[in-house]
Structure 1
Amino acid sequence: MRPKTFENYEYLIRVHLNPRIGSHPIMKLTPEIIQNFYNYLSSKGRGDGNGGLSPKTVRNMHNLLHDALQQAVKIGKIIRNVSEATTLPRKQPKEIQPLSMDDEITFLETASSDRLGIA
């Protein structure tokens, strides 16, 4: 695992996962507990108290938790991965902002002076 990935996982666990569901024994985790956790993250999960985390961040949290629970299944600590019975927030496509006519002209003029042109 790359150092930055490790840092991100450690942050998600320390700041979000442990405070909210870390006190639940792994064998007593239910889909409802995890779903409530995801719902909390989506609505109030930001550290500054100004709303929820993005759907991508909640999905990252799910991936981390899912993989950890899947490993627990493999080594026989739990029978099933309860994170599989949860619903994740929908991905929100980013709205494309096309260039204005003036911006297009500026771009083409600038690009024409480059050796690669608009490529």
Structure 2
Amino acid sequence: NYAGMHTSPRTQESYRMEVEHHLIPHLGAIALCQLQPQQLQSYYADALKKGRMDGKGGLSARTVLYHHRILSEALSHALKMELVARNVAKAVDPPRPRQVKIATMALEDIPKFVEVVWETPYYVLFFTALFTGMRLGELLGLRWRDIGLDSGALFVVQALYKRRGVCQMIEPKSPYSRRKIALPSSLSLLLRQHGAKQEAERILLGKVVSGDDLVFAYVDGRPLDPDTVSHAFVRLLKRAGLPHIRFHDLR
């Protein structure tokens, strides 16, 4: 399983969805050794016109380009394994998506957002996201042992990933994702207070907080659901009267 050894679980799931829903139905009947550039070019053109699964038009140029990259990577591996004589995807011109301006939270909007989330269970989580640039999965996978409150730093060593309704811990998506992040003093203080509150809540449940416990979790220690956090983020943006952005855009 080439993808299983070289890609993250999230990427594998994404590949699987695109291959099963689009590539196999349109190209699966063609033998690998008989695949020709014009067949790929024809598929890209059709996908742009009428590729949506709901029948309501075509796929975006960005999605079709993603299909091209999946095919090209697979064919490159097949070439190494001597299953094909060449990578026919290299001879095809994929669509070029238009450059889209990435929305981010404006500096002047941060106080408005912080004011709205102050009384919510997600305040410390969102505050940490704003000041560290961590991905949602990285935040939800953060353990107390990964934070040095006295040294003012935290280490990203794992991430929470939800696949088919099941949450699991995975390694960072790339070597560069495994990193050390400096903590501003205000965030260190907030995390220290958050830890004390979490410890008091666990004591009421007859439990103790250990270094392996998650920093951001339900009261009983279970990991937060990333979908629940994302939906809460969108609702709070709306309540604050701020433009819609993705949680990822806080980075």
Do the structures match in fold with TM over 0.5? yes
Give distance in 2, aligned partners of 1:51 and 1:42: 8
How far the C-alpha of 1:11 sits from its partner, in A, is 0.6
Bigger radius of gyration, 1 or 2?
A: 2
Structure 2: 5+ residue stretches without partners: 1-6, 115-251
Residue of structure 2 equivalent to 1:92 = 98
Match of 2:53 in 1: 47
Choose between structure 1 and 2: higher helix proportion.
1
Choose between structure 1 and 2 for higher RCO, CA contacts under 8 A separated by at least 6 residues.
1
Which residue pairs with 1:59 in the alignment? 65
TM-score w.r.t. structure 2 length?
0.39
2:76 is equivalent to residue 74 of structure 1: no
Give the counterpart of 1:18 among 24, 31, 48: 24
* Residue correspondence of structure 1 range 95-114 to structure 2 within 5 A: 108=108, 111=111
- Counterpart residue number, 1:35: 41
Deviation by residue 1:4-44 (Cα, 9 ceiling, x = unmatched): 11111111110001000011001100000111111111111
Q: Which amino acid aligns with 2:28?
A: G
Whichever structure has more strand as a proportion of its residues is 2
Identity of aligned residues (%): 34
CA distance in 1, matches of 2:42, 2:92: 9
Rounded Cα–Cα distance in structure 1 between residues aligned with 2:98 and 2:36 = 27
Root mean square deviation, CA, Å: 2.4
Report the CA distance between 1:91 and its aligned residue.
1.6
Amino acid at match of 1:42: L
Using a 3 Å threshold, how does the CA distance of structure 1 residues 92 and 108 change in structure 2: closer, same or farther? same
In structure 1, runs of 5+ residues without a counterpart are: 98-103, 115-119
1:34–1:109 CA distance, 2 compared to 1 (3 A): closer
Equivalent residues of 2:32, 2:84 under 8 A apart: yes
1:59 Cα deviation (Å)? 1.0
TM-score norm. by structure 1 comes to 0.78
Counterpart check, 1:8 vs 2:14: yes
Cα distance, 1:93 vs structure 2: 1.9
For residues 57-78 of structure 1, give each alpha carbon's deviation from its aligned partner in whole angstroms, at most 9, with x where no partner exists.
1111111100111111111111
- Partners of 1:96 and 1:4 in 2: how far apart? 22
